[in-house]
Chain A
Amino acid sequence: MKNKIEFLIGDKKFSSKALEPFDDGVIKFLDELSVFLAASKESLEYTDIRTFAFMCRKKNLEFLKKKFSTSMYRVGVGLLFHITPSNIPTSFAYSMLFGILSGNTNLIKIPSKKFPQIEILCKAIKIKIKKYKKIEKFITIVRYSDNDEFTREASLKCDGRLIWGGNSSINNIRKFPMKEISRDIAFADRNSLCVINSSKIMSLTAKELKFLAVRFYNDTFLVDQNACSSPHIIFWEGNKKEEAKEKFWAELFNIVKSKYDLQYTGIFYKYNRLISDNLGLKNFRSYKKYGQYIHCVQLKNNMKLKIENLTAKWGYFYQMDLENISKIFNHTNANTQTLSYYGYTKDIFLKIIKQKNFRGVDRIVPIGQALDIGLYWDGYDIIPSLTKTIEIK
């Protein structure tokens, strides 16, 4: 198969060059990009663009640079071929940020769907990068579909690949060989959990509860619960679990009703999933619906969970009671990405993990930060993963 390739930035003469991570020119470019995006009228209505712009501020990048400090000499691996997810408009920009910040040249394949955010971001990158002759050729952005020949050529040429996406697209890309020395970093399908301290919910004021529900909304409904880091199973621990559930979901229902636009696809999905679960899921105990907005399936306690089968979307949650917070990691596995929590201090998680040598989770964050993206992702420390060390003795 061979289809047309559209170069949004750069051309087919992309090559492999490398810099040290956190290069001054790169930081300057990203900061200018950030200022430009924050001021642009076009990006005003896109919170995802503004979030990206916020991350690219000089202050933030300098902070990350300081945090990274290493005694070793590091340099980018060279040309990175990014295969970014087809259904989220801004993730290519984060992938680019990972790549260029770690000192690499980047060939970025973006979604074929023409999101307005992509056009705005590419336009801004194009304008700003011209000023930086040293790194001008460091960003090439392409759009194509069904062109195995190009994927093959890029895979052979690159020094590393960043593959985002579902397991099937990862496996598909991996069919194309790379140079022996090149490296693959794949962000696979993952699942995420949430644990809530019910005793703490019961003592919340109306205002605090609303604040929590909004943060939970941002972790879930904002992306149709379709992000890997959106929680799929909610664990309840503490006293008065039933009352706490009712209090929490009812408040969330208020938020969702006022903010969320119901989609036919999601309504059908939940209707079908509820019936399928009722017929086929052994752990099914009961369910509760909040309009067509929120579906909660209560799972039986003390039954082994197959968490990879319990990843629903569109506002469909599984929930389970937990007798003790220390049991939470009994339910995680290698596929667990994010554990978001409410009503605990972070020390408790570190203590449990250390005690039992658990490793089945990548991130543990308060509710409201599940979707935040930093320089650690899916268990990777991004900068070291995309650079090489040169040992000099």
Chain B
Amino acid sequence: MEKFKKSIKIFNYSKKEKISFFDGKMINLVKSHYNLCKPYKNMLKLFNYNLDNKNIKKIPPLPVSLFKNIDLLSVKKNKIIKTLLSSGTSGIVPSKIYLDGENSKNLTWVLTKIVESILGKKRIPMLIVDQNPRHSNRYNFNARIAAINGFSIFGKNITYLIDNNNKFKINELNKFLSIYGNDNFLIFGFTSIVYQHLLKNDISRKLKYNLKKGILIHGGGWKKLTDISITNKMFKDSFRKKYSLNKIHNYYGLVEQTGSIFIECEKCSLFKCSIYSDIFIRDKHLNIIEEKGKKGFLQVMSLIPSSYPGNNLLTEDIAEIVDSKKCKSCTHNYYGKLFKVYGRANNSEIRGCSNI
């Protein structure tokens, strides 16, 4: 397996630099998984993939749901140090992602670089809008715990805001703010949990301090909020109004590509690709859409996955690439793709029934 190359130009790469850094490595990663993971090899063979191919657009993506049905590994099972499970609802089979030491190390490195682009290198006091996952099984992480653990390395003096009975710890928050509230601090949580505990339950009256110096990073999907018609803009506006919290970053990430998350531009709320990832949009015939502004399936690529073939995935999410010229903030020193995610392809159109 090729050694993982580190780049310091995490977002401020030129188009040329991106291609020369990314494309060859992706092609080699495909070859490596082809040789090490038999199901992956069979999948490429099914679509008559030519191993001499140099064009990343021609690599057939693995459907992300395949990790639910089949164990996919590119290393021996005894090398696995962590298994990540997607946080599916009960009754739904979760995805299983197998990480070896090297893969874990690389994902932490990339995640660090991405988050540093927002927070800087210094660790700052941190609030986590969730329960303390300390008591969970170390070898079976679900996506939520993995994200909490992953992000907690960017903070210090960590305070968990939810107790074991799912109650919000308002006193702890006040205590934290009285000590650290005058300087930058990080707030991290899952989108729907942050919404539930800070926006749906308005705690602003019980709060003795504001959250002006806070930087909120949240992810995990909008499904629950879309169902009750809450948009990203409403989410941000409420935080601004209720808590004077202005710095809010949503991120898009899959447990199948942990580490190489897509973080949104603070101003225009579009997602950016780091130099370790790339995206394509595919139409209803599964062809890549070259024009901007057209919706289709989101395909995500990442250079991190080495112990499992998660390098090139077709998601069930619908997205579009947006013209980057409109926002001055994100185009400053960023030349990559900008995209918008609309959420899961709608299932409600299904006809027929379970019996007739």
Could you tell me which A residues sit within 8 Å of B by CB distance?
85, 87-88, 91, 94, 113, 164-166, 169, 187-190, 222-230, 262-265, 267-268, 271-272, 274-276, 278-280, 287, 291-292, 313, 371, 373, 378
Contact between A225 and B352, CB atoms less than 8 A apart: yes
- Which candidate, B39-47, B94-102, B118-126, is the interface stretch facing chain A? B39-47
For residue B64, give the distance in angstroms from its CB to the closest CB of chain A.
9
- Which candidate, B8-16, B65-73, B210-218, is the interface stretch facing chain A? B65-73
For residue A230, give the distance in angstroms from its CB to the closest CB of chain B.
7
Contact between A190 and B345, CB atoms less than 8 A apart: no
Distance in angstroms between the alpha carbons of A113 and B285 in the assembled complex: 29
Contact for B356 among A88, A262, A265, CB less than 8 A: A88
Q: Would you list 18 pairs from A and B whose C-beta atoms are within 8 A, ordered by A residue?
A: A87-B350, A87-B353, A190-B355, A223-B356, A226-B353, A264-B297, A264-B318, A264-B345, A264-B346, A265-B316, A265-B346, A268-B345, A271-B286, A271-B314, A272-B63, A272-B65, A275-B66, A279-B66
List B contacts of A264 (CB < 8 A): 284, 297, 316, 318, 345-346
Distance in angstroms between the alpha carbons of A378 and B314 in the assembled complex: 39
Distance in angstroms between the alpha carbons of A274 and B66 in the assembled complex: 11
List A contacts of B347 (CB < 8 A): 265
Chain B, 16-56, contact with A by CB distance < 8 Å: what is the 0/1 string? 00000000000000000000000100110010000000000
Distance in angstroms between the alpha carbons of A105 and B240 in the assembled complex: 57
List B contacts of A91 (CB < 8 A): 353, 355-356
Contact between A224 and B46, CB atoms less than 8 A apart: no
**B348 CB within 8 Å of chain A:** yes
CB closest chain-B residue, reference A337:
B355
Q: With A264-B284, A267-B286 as given contacts, are A275 and B352 in contact (CB-CB < 8 Å)?
A: no
Contact between B350 and A226, CB atoms less than 8 A apart: yes
Distance in angstroms between the alpha carbons of A267 and B354 in the assembled complex: 20
**B351 CB within 8 Å of chain A:** yes
For residue A90, give the distance in angstroms from its CB to the closest CB of chain B.
9
For residue A285, give the distance in angstroms from its CB to the closest CB of chain B.
13
Contact for B355 among A187, A274, A278, CB less than 8 A: A187
Q: How many A-B residue contacts, CB cutoff 8 Å?
A: 113
**B349 CB within 8 Å of chain A:** yes
**B62 CB within 8 Å of chain A:** yes
Contact for B284 among A223, A224, A267, CB less than 8 A: A267
Contact between A113 and B348, CB atoms less than 8 A apart: yes
For residue B296, give the distance in angstroms from its CB to the closest CB of chain A.
8
Contact for B351 among A222, A279, A280, CB less than 8 A: A222
Distance in angstroms between the alpha carbons of A70 and B318 in the assembled complex: 58
List A contacts of B351 (CB < 8 A): 87-88, 222-224, 226
Contact between A230 and B352, CB atoms less than 8 A apart: yes
Contact between B355 and A228, CB atoms less than 8 A apart: yes
Contact for A188 among B285, B318, B355, CB less than 8 A: B355
For residue A68, give the distance in angstroms from its CB to the closest CB of chain B.
22
